[in-house]
Amino acid sequence: MNAETLQAQLSKIHEPKGYYFNTDKILVSDLLEALLTNKERYGYMVCPCRLASGDRKKDQDIICPCVYRTEDVAEFGSCYCNLYVSKDWNEGTIKHDFVPERRPVALQF
């Protein structure tokens, strides 16, 4: 599996739900590669922008797409990593604000 194949597979699942890949191709390619690295490292595609514990149960909420994506895309137009974004984000009709960490500290590693 390479990043390109992964992107093609994931787009089919997520685009119909309104989650698009960022048009920043380098960022997306880096993040998809990182997801594949994490799949190899931990056995599951955990968020590349967060520190995983390596325990699947503890990391459940941050397995990509994380459970915070819905609220983050609704509020900021982008997930925490800027991997999945809304149409408005890609079209530049909304401000590209920094997406703060929404995951409660208590759930971290």
Partner 1 sequence: MTTPDVKIYSLSTCGHCKATKRFLSECNIVYDFVDVDLLEGEERSAILADVRNLNPNCSFPTIQIGGKVIVGFREDEIKEALGLK
Closest CA to 81 of 59, 93, 64: 64
The CB-of-53 to partner 1 minimum distance in angstroms stands at 11
Taking CB under 8 A as the rule, does residue 108 contact partner 1? yes
Q: Least separation, in Å, of the C-beta of 66 and partner 1?
A: 13
Q: Residues 41 to 80: which contact partner 1 by CB under 8 A?
A: 48-52
Amino acid at 39: K
Question: Which CB atom, from 41 or from 87, has the smaller least distance to partner 1?
Answer: 41
Q: Which is nearer to partner 1, 42 or 70 (CB)?
A: 42
Which range in 8-16, 29-37, 66-74, 84-92 contacts partner 1 by CB under 8 A?
A: 29-37
* Long-range contacts of the stretch 30-38 (C-beta < 8 A, 24+): 31/81, 31/83, 32/3, 32/6, 32/7, 32/83, 33/3, 35/6, 35/64, 36/1, 36/2, 36/3, 36/6
Cβ closer to partner 1: 16 or 24?
A: 24
Q: Are 94 and 78 in contact (CB under 8 A)?
A: no
Contacts to partner 1 by CB under 8 A = 27, 30-31, 34, 37-38, 48-52, 81-83, 98, 100-101, 105, 108-109
